[in-house]
Amino acid sequence: MDIFIYGIFNSISLALMALGFALVYGISRVPNFAHGALYVVTGFLTWGFLRTLHLNYFLSILLAMLITGIVGALIYQLILVRVRGMAISEIIASYAMGLAIIEGFRWWGFKGMTYTLPVFVEGSVTIAGIPIDWQRILVVAVGGAVVGFLWLFTHYTKVGLALRGMAQDERASLMLGIDSDRMAVVAMSFGAMLAGLAAIMLLPLGNIVVEKGYDVLILAIAVCIVGGLGSWMGAVVASFLIGFAQIFTVVYLGAHFQMVVALLAIIITLILRPSGLFGRQKELEERV
């Protein structure tokens, strides 16, 4: 039962961390290696508004997520648009931006363990003899809601359909009058806000440390490679595979092997099915 409960929580956490990355790549084909940095940005911004400016918690969250969205859009508009289509340059440019942001926070003195956000709901509950705190239950609920919202958004709204069109066939979308760059900015901003949402939900469980930016990036990349780059559904499925694999590893092998799982998943996927579970970029090669 404990494996099931914490496996669900771990999987949803991974999905929250990875969805933004998957969305940006799916729409603009840009691997946003600043994803982890945007996660940290939201955390520190919320902390700043809440603890320094003493704003209301939910207002702080709203402002932080909006600013993170703008930062994401600016990264694309000012930097990534110039190297779009050059895969290596996109990775280097976005990673450099992420590195500058993360190490910038460290340089400004955001170090140590005292940067924390309050949980939304205090206390814990016992389910089938397993204690779990309300914040984690909330993470599962919000994660589920985000996946549902994304599905509805991409199926029933004009912007969502345009994003989907871009993800499926960019050239056909261009012929229908969809502005590729505009959609990429929207995706980048939206992806940044999703990274921010993950931060808002998960950081109250611990503390805000700059190193988290690197961890989130690695996990997001692992999930997206296993699920198939650009596939949102793949990201969700891969989150559950890796999430449960991590919990099984902790229970049966020991906690110190947990970090290996994500990296091992990348290696196995690249060997057996380079496109990932739902990816299509190497489908023809794999068939041949």
Partner 1 sequence: MKKSGWGVWIVLVAAFLMLAPSGRAVAAEPIIIGCPLPTAFLYGWDAERGVRLAVDEINAQGGVDVGGEKRMLKVELIDTRDLEPGVPVSEALLAVEKLILEKKADFIVGGPVRSEAALAAMPLLSKHQKVSIVTSGVLSPKYHAMVAQDYDKYKYCFRIHGEAKQLVTEIMDCLEHIKGTFGLNNLFIMVQDVAHARAAGKILGDIALKKGWTVSGTEIFPTGTGDFSMGLIKAQKAGAQVLSLWMDMPESSILLKQWYDMQLPALPFGSTLAAAEQPGFWKATEGKGAYCLANVVNAGNAPSNATPWTMKFYDAYTEKWGIEPEGLGSSSSYMAIYTLKDAIERAGTLESGAVITALEQTDLMGVYGRVRFDPKSHQVIPSYDPQEGAVGSIFQWQDGKRVVVFPESIAMGKIILPPWMKMKQ
Q: How far is the CB of 256 from partner 1 (least distance, A)?
A: 4
> At its nearest, how many Å lie between partner 1 and the CB of residue 106?
6
Closest CA to 224 of 240, 239, 244: 239
47 binds partner 1 (CB under 8 A): no
Residue located via tokens 């099915």: 273
CB 44, min distance to partner 1, A: 14
Q: Which is nearer to partner 1, 185 or 210 (CB)?
A: 210
What letter represents residue 200's amino acid?
I
> 55 in helix, strand or coil?
coil
Among 59, 251, 267, 270, binds partner 1 (CB under 8 A): 251
Q: Please count the residues of this chain forming the interface with partner 1, following the rule CB under 8 A.
A: 38
Q: Which of 74, 91, 120, 133 binds partner 1 (CB under 8 A)?
A: 133
Q: Does 286 bind partner 1 (CB under 8 A)?
A: no
- The least distance separating partner 1 from the CB of residue 123, rounded to whole angstroms, comes to 7
What's the min distance (Å) between Cβ of 61 and partner 1? 17
CA distance 91 to 184: 16
Rounded Cα distance, 232 and 226, in Å: 12
End-to-end distance of the chain based on CA atoms, in angstroms?
43
Report the nearest approach of partner 1 to the CB of residue 40 (Å).
Answer: 13
The correct pick among 53, 172, 255, 263 for binding partner 1 (CB under 8 A) is 255
Give the residue, chosen from 6, 25, 76, 244, that forms a contact with partner 1 under the rule CB under 8 A: 6
Give dist(CA 172, CA 142) in Å, integer. 34
Q: Which residues, in sequence order, are CB contacts of 272 under 8 Å at separation 6+?
A: none
Please, which of residues 205-244 interact with partner 1 by CB under 8 A? 205-207, 209-212, 214-215
> Residue 175 burial (CB < 10 Å; 0-12/13-18/19+)?
exposed
* Beta carbon of residue 212, minimum distance to partner 1 (angstroms, whole number): 7
**Contact pattern from residue 91 through residue 130 relative to partner 1, giving x for each residue in contact according to CB under 8 A and a dash for the rest:** ---------------x----xxxxxx-x----xx-----x
33 binds partner 1 per the rule CB under 8 A: no
Closest CA to 261 of 228, 234, 239, 279: 239
Alpha helices in the chain (DSSP H): 2-28, 35-47, 57-74, 87-107, 134-156, 158-168, 170-175, 180-202, 212-227, 232-252, 258-272, 283-287
Stretch that binds partner 1, among 6-14, 76-84, 141-149, 263-271 (CB under 8 A): 6-14
Residue 113 three-state SS: coil
Nearer to partner 1, 28 or 42 (CB): 42
CB 217 within 8 A of CB 98: yes
Judged by beta carbon, residue 133 or residue 170, the one nearer partner 1 is: 133
Point out which residues bind partner 1 (CB under 8 A).
Answer: 2, 6, 9-10, 13, 106, 111-116, 118, 123-124, 130-133, 135-136, 205-207, 209-212, 214-215, 247, 250-251, 254-256, 258-259
